[in-house]
Amino acid sequence: MPALVLPPSLPPHLRPSPLTAVPRVATLLSALFAGALAITPAQAHEGHDHGAAPVRSASPAKAARPPVAVGAVFDASGRLWRVRIAPEREGRLVVDHSDDRGAHFSNPVNVNAAPEPVAAEGELRPQIIVALPDGAQRQAGDAARVWVAWTSPLASVPYAGHVRFARSSDGGRHFDAPLTVNDDRAPITHRFQTLHRSPDGRLFLAWIDKREGEAAKRQGQAYRGAAIYYAESRDDGATFSTNARHAAHTCECCRIALADDPSAPAGLAANRPLALWRHVYSDAQGKSLRDHGLAPLGGIADGAEPPRGSDDRWQVDACPHHGPALAVAGDGTRHLAWFNLVGATPALQYQARGRDGAPLFPPRKVGGDLAAHPALFVRDRQVWLAWKEFDGQTTRVFVEHSADGGRSWSAPRALATSDGASDHPQLIDDRGRPYLSWNTLQEGYRLVALEESSAATPTAPLTAATVPPDNTR
């Protein structure tokens, strides 16, 4: 397996010695590149071996552990929906729902009738979107439409996979046979999918794709990183368009963030999501700089360098397995959070940008040096930012709140903790109210109402409905 390369710009106190690493250093490295970044051997990516010794994990992450990544969403009536792997149904994704904020869940329904490999770990989360009939509140027998997307790894080829999609038109009782959305079927990387539904009902799927890199390799040419490809559906997911490239030279293993832009001009492009992703820029000497691109999906001209969403100029030839977060306010303000090395310091950062993409104020460091995997929620000028930190033993999910569009923030509060393996935090929307959705191996699934949790102690879970991942009623 390719080794995970330690970025050369890590500060000295985080670098292991050539032969061994003292326990404290090993713990910090594991927290930064395994616990915080959720890298497992199965997720390490080709092209990351540049001669360094492998970094071994001392975090809760274990290669053989059950997958913990869960996709969650509220529908317009307040019903909570999940998509996850059911360990007792090997090779199958299941969908269930709860009408009591996660205290009980319905019997799970198989998404894929035939078993197949499913990635549900770290940056590779299965995703779900649910829509009720236009303008309707839930009534008995309502036929909600449910859409699910995931990555199916190829067991025969490391780091390869296909982007898969399935839909239900009867409220999640049955799912149509899954589709493979990437039209290039070579056994290469088509992974790290993101599913999005625009206000006009179009479905978009974007993913990391290495078809261009493989073509360049066959011609003996160099190619920086991977690419982002996407497809859209205008018939509720019955069919998808021919794949199109969003951006060339992207990071190979970082999730893509998509968000609606309510301020976009009228027309077809108004309902095309805004994308934020880790991009592989290059400096004048041709060295890789892994910052973030920010542009409407499909809105980059061929050969053009994507507009920047961050400008830290992190020089590293490795993927940190750490995608960004994006939320857009009604006035078009872009709220961004991302992880980079800033100088010699690991930093999770936040910044707001205007409709034109220009920064409204300098980036702000969030949490400690091991803060990782952000999630954002915006409502008018109120912004919530969540992230996780792993200290070598315990993972904590923290949250901050801003009431003035991100210019000032509350003190961080720990919402939930776990001493075992955990998913990355999500912030999900119940009719304008933010909730933390978080799954852990030991404690199971937790749903935390952010606006009802101000009285919490610094490390205790707050008003959380804790449900073992496989508990149903």
What pLDDT is stored for residue 470 in this prediction?
A: 38
Q: Give residue-wise pLDDT tens across range 416-452.
A: 999 999 999 999 999 999 999 999 999 999 999 999 7
Asked whether residue 46 is assigned to any structural domain, the reply reads no
Neighbours of 90 (CB within 10 A): 9
243-269 b/e (C-beta count within 10 Å ≥ 16 → b): beebbbbbbbbbbbbbbbbebbeeeee
What pLDDT is stored for residue 138 in this prediction?
A: 59
The Cα–Cα gap between 397 and 350 comes to 16
Q: For residue 55, is pLDDT > 60?
A: no
Asked whether residue 7 is assigned to any structural domain, the reply reads no
Asked whether residue 378 is assigned to any structural domain, the reply reads yes
Asked whether residue 123 is assigned to any structural domain, the reply reads no
Asked whether residue 361 is assigned to any structural domain, the reply reads no
What pLDDT is stored for residue 286 in this prediction?
A: 83
Asked whether residue 400 is assigned to any structural domain, the reply reads yes
Q: For residue 50, is pLDDT > 80?
A: no
Residue 143: pLDDT band (50, 70, 90) is confident
The Cα–Cα gap between 14 and 102 comes to 40
Beta bridge partners of 337: 325, 350
What pLDDT is stored for residue 345 in this prediction?
A: 86
Asked whether residue 66 is assigned to any structural domain, the reply reads no
The Cα–Cα gap between 399 and 384 comes to 7
Work out how many domains the chain is built from and give that number.
Answer: 1
For the chain, give the percent of residues with pLDDT over 90.
68
Residue 250 is classified by DSSP as E
| Class of residue 411 by CB neighbours under 10 A (exposed 0-12, middle 13-18, buried 19+) | exposed
Q: For residue 19, is pLDDT > 50?
A: no
For residue 411, the enclosing domain spans 367-452
Cα angle for residues 384, 390, 393 (degrees, 5° grid): 140
Proportion of the chain in helix, strand, coil states, percent, rounded to 5: 5, 40, 55
For the chain, give the percent of residues with pLDDT over 70.
79
Lowest mean pLDDT among 165-169, 223-227, 343-347: 343-347
What pLDDT is stored for residue 30 in this prediction?
A: 44
Q: Give residue-wise pLDDT tens across range 208-222.
A: 999 999 999 999 999
Query: What distances in angstroms separate CA 457 from CA 77, 142, 460, one per listed residue?
Result: 31, 41, 6
Beta bridge partners of 147: 129, 167
What pLDDT is stored for residue 142 in this prediction?
A: 65
Lowest mean pLDDT among 116-120, 139-143, 302-306, 376-380: 139-143
Asked whether residue 396 is assigned to any structural domain, the reply reads yes
Q: Give residue-wise pLDDT tens across range 100-126.
A: 999 999 999 999 999 999 999 889 999
Q: Give residue-wise pLDDT tens across range 177-219.
A: 999 999 999 999 999 999 999 999 999 999 999 999 999 999 9
- Whether the CB-CB separation of 229 and 244 falls below 8 Å is answered with yes
The Cα–Cα gap between 244 and 204 comes to 11
Q: What is the pTM of this model?
A: 0.84
Q: Give residue-wise pLDDT tens across range 274-293.
A: 999 999 999 888 888 999 99
Higher pLDDT: 38 or 106? It is: 106
